[in-house]
Amino acid sequence: MDKLGINLPWFLTQLTGFLIVLFILRQFTYKPILNMLETRKRKIAESLEYADKVKADAAAQQKDFERRLDEARREAQVAAQSAQQAAEQERQRILAEAQAEAAKIKEAARGELDYERKQMVSELRQQVIDLSVLGAQRVIGANLDDRKSRQLVENFLNEMDFGANGRKPASTREGAGA
């Protein structure tokens, strides 16, 4: 034992040293650090739980948001469709109105034209009659009975169908030109 160096005072010194180290480590290191590790573990677990909750909430919100977005989109689509329909109807209406207006204007224009033409023909007729009578007077050198000669030309024109009937002015005019 002595050769190995085992002796009681030295042994007790070493043992005491170990026990002091053990006590100090237990008091100042193990207890606080184990507590700290425990606390940290709990905190991390809590944080993870919270994160999960937040994530779930976010997912729910996302779903809700998407649902609302879908709804809004659908509504917008419906609104757009109805607006398009209304616009189409409006267009049709305006088109029809415009067409009716145009037809009316055309009709009115045609009526006016007809009237003016009739007017012109009638004026022309008067002038032709006047010219004919005047021409005839020159030819025969006598003063023709105005009323009577007029009647004659009038009759002639009527025979020729010149301007008496507005229905066939073209053929009449053609005939007159020929």
- Kindly state the smallest distance separating residue 35's Cβ from another protein, in Å: 8
Q: Give 1 or 178: the residue with its C-beta nearer to another protein.
A: 1
Instruction: Provide the minimum distance between the beta carbon of 41 and another protein in the complex, in angstroms, as a whole number.
Output: 11
* Residue 75 C-beta: closest distance to another protein, Å: 50
By CB atoms closer than 10 A (0-12, 13-18, 19+), residue 15 is exposed
Closer CB to another protein, 27 or 89, in the complex: 27
Please enumerate in sequence order all residues whose Cβ is within 8 A of that of 164, keeping only pairs 6 or more positions apart, or say none. 157, 158
Check if the beta carbon of residue 161 is closer than 8 Å to that of residue 174. no
**Based on CB atoms, which residue is closest to another protein, 34 or 100?**
34
**Rounded Cα distance, 118 and 125, in Å:** 10
3-class secondary-structure state, position 122: helix
**If you compute the radius of gyration of the chain from its CA atoms, what whole number of angstroms results?**
61
Contacts of 124 (CB under 8 A, 6+ apart): 163
Q: Which is nearer to another protein, 24 or 96 (CB)?
A: 24
Q: Which residues bind another protein (CB under 8 A)?
A: 2-7, 9-11, 13-15, 17-18, 20-22, 24-26, 28-30, 32-34, 36-37, 39-40, 43
First to last CA, the chain: 166
How many Å is the maximal CA-CA distance in the chain? 190
Question: In the complex, what is the shortest distance from the CB of residue 21 to another protein, in angstroms, rounded to a whole number?
Answer: 5
Smallest distance from the beta carbon of 1 to another protein, in angstroms?
Answer: 9
> Of 34 and 105, which CB lies nearer to another protein in the complex structure?
34
